[in-house]
Structure 1
Amino acid sequence: MTRLRNYFLTGFIVCAPLAITIYIVWSLIGWVDSWVRPYIPHRYDPDAYLPFHIPGYGLVVAVVGITLIGFLTANIVGRSIVSFGERLLNRMPLVRGVYKALKQIFETVLSNKSEMFRTVGMVEYPRKGVWSIVFVAGEKETEINARLDKEGDPLLAVFMPCTPNPTTGFLMYVPKSEVVILDMTIEDGAKLIVSAGLVAPEYKAKVISVNGETIDGTIANPTLAEVAQGANQPALRSRTGSSRPNR
């Protein structure tokens, strides 16, 4: 019975992430289709000619349309049209603030030269001796640094995400000397936060050998096979222990 339970848990660990991923992707495709398909002319919709529904057609049209807009914006005529549209938006009191903020966020996040959230760190919060994971936005010359940097210790803008939803959190400015920079990537840090510490990334630590040479040692998470094998060991030990005669 114990072995069957371990097999079920191992299969659940394999199937659950796959099923959730398929569900999220399928929901995203359906959401984009519901937005784009009503604007596609009837004669260009394959559902009008085929006896079955083709999912994802609206997503393909959206990707092609966005790419075409980017291509047109790259030339002089496209830039002129975009500049004219931005001038119109800048004349609207409420709309211009929202548009400028969203545009700056997207340009910062999607820019290849952006250094936003490239480093994972730790700060002592909410009290001394308790550490929290943060995403370091970088050290930039801002008014905050100019007013608060009194001891030559620059301030780092760090974002402290919440668990299990890393899209919400707190923005803090912490002295650089109080931030411990980690070697893990942003993706590994996000996995650590979303899983509430259950999924820890691999860590290559420097291990000193007997001869004094420094080598790399990897501390990794157990694989699914190792988890299943470790779960089966208690049952195996119970069977072997019961078969041994008492001396």
Structure 2
Amino acid sequence: MSTKIRFLLRYIFVGALSLFPLILVIVVVNYLKNLGISAYLSLHDYTDSFELTLALMIGVIGVFAVLGFSIEKYGRSIFVSMIDSTFEKIPAIRSVYSVSKKLAAMLSGGEDGTKKEVVLVEYPKEGLWVPAYLLNRHENICVLFIPTSPNPTSGYTVLVDEALIKKTTLSLQEASSFIISMGADFSQKEDVSALIQTHRTSAQEL
């Protein structure tokens, strides 16, 4: 009987995992739906008009699209620059706004027209390689953000010598996909494996 129960639990677990992508999509869609409904109800409380509320929501979406287009095409937006200038003059929220802006730039793939590098670093100990985002550097010291799996927005900020990192050709999106999928989506596996193998060979020769 115990053997049958173990097999039954295993089948349930495997079945649940097979539907995990579908469940994740449903959760995300449901979250976006609830967010949209909440935004609509909040606006409707002020306007008390279906047509006006719908027009405002379409207008907000249009503003987002225009901002995204201007930033992607020209690298900046006059409207966003005005907001930046305003908040940077307010001491109480200047630091929080500045940090939030840098995080948003990192997650979008670049800041000031440049893209963040994805590197490999041995962490938390020698022999264990993890992908990390190169955020800043001073001389030979690099500031890395090491994301955790499956949530790439949480992690650790570390300072390491540049000689201890390995540069990769992974994009921010590819690295994030690797982390979110817990390694199931392993883009450019050959290049990454070659980097680690080269490092191992060099260490053995030393």
Q: Same fold (TM over 0.5)?
A: yes
Cα distance per residue 1:63-100 (max 9 Å; x no partner): 223235678999xxx948963x5555344320222223
Which residue of structure 2 aligns with residue 136 of structure 1? Answer: 133
Cα distance per residue 1:151-182 (max 9 Å; x no partner): xxx23322112234322222222222211344
Which residue of structure 2 aligns with residue 20 of structure 1? Answer: 24
Cα distance per residue 1:40-79 (max 9 Å; x no partner): 53141689xxxxxxxxx987554223235678999xxx94
Which residue of structure 1 aligns with residue 43 of structure 2? Answer: 39
Q: How big is the alpha-carbon RMSD for the aligned residues of Structure 1 and Structure 2? A: 4.3
* Change in 2 beyond 3 A, CA 1:134/1:72: closer
In 1, distance between residues paired with 2:174 and 2:151?
15
User: Does the alignment pair 1:157 with 2:143?
Assistant: yes
Cα distance per residue 1:113-150 (max 9 Å; x no partner): 3222x424132x333x331413131664x3xx3xxxxx
Question: AA paired with 2:23?
Answer: A
Percent of pairs identical after alignment? 17
| SS class of match (1:193) | helix
Higher share in helix: 2
Maintained 8 Å contact 2:119/2:168: yes
Cα distance per residue 1:29-48 (max 9 Å; x no partner): 3113312442253141689x
Structure 2 gaps, min length 5: 192-206
| SS class of match (2:153) | coil
Maintained 8 Å contact 2:136/2:144: no
Question: AA paired with 1:201?
Answer: F
Q: Which has the higher contact order (CA 8 A, sep 6+)?
A: 1
* Change in 2 beyond 3 A, CA 1:9/1:176: same
- Count of residues in Structure 1 that have an aligned counterpart in Structure 2: 177
Question: AA paired with 2:92?
Answer: L
| SS class of match (1:201) | coil
In 2, distance between residues paired with 1:18 and 1:58?
32
Which residue of structure 1 aligns with residue 186 of structure 2? Answer: 201
Structure 1 gaps, min length 5: 48-56, 146-153, 206-247
Q: Which protein shows a greater Rg?
A: 1
* Change in 2 beyond 3 A, CA 1:87/1:188: closer
Give TM-score, length-normalised by structure 1: 0.52
Give TM-score, length-normalised by structure 2: 0.60
